[in-house]
């Protein structure tokens, strides 16, 4: 199983493809995704990846065209 690095520089499309069971890390915490919560505001998308021992949050600013 590959371990996918996640941070605010990872494309939003890549974050949206992640699912429960995928292994992720952010150089501070690593684990297998148990649950994913996505919150949307006018300014950003907040991804919260719940792991067995903690959670990783990634905030993506929305692109204005």
Q: What's the pLDDT at 63?
A: 75
pLDDT at res. 65: 64
Cβ contact 52:34 at 8 Å? yes
> HEC states along the chain?
CCEEECCCCCCHHHHHHCCCCCEEECCCCEEEEEEEEEEECCCEEEEEEEECCEEEEEEEECCCC
Q: Where are the domains of the chain?
A: 3-61
pLDDT in tens, the chain (65 residues): 579 999 999 999 999 999 999 999 999 999 999 999 999 999 999 999 999 999 999 999 987 66
pTM above 0.85, yes or no: yes
């Amino acid at each position: 199983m590959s371990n996918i690095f996640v941070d605010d520089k990872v494309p939003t499309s890549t974050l949206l493809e992640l699912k429960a069971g995928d292994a992720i890390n952010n150089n501070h915490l690593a684990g297998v995704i148990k649950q994913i919560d996505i919150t949307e505001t006018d300014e950003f998308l907040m991804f919260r990846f719940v792991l067995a021992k903690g959670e990783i949050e990634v905030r993506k600013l929305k692109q204005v065209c």
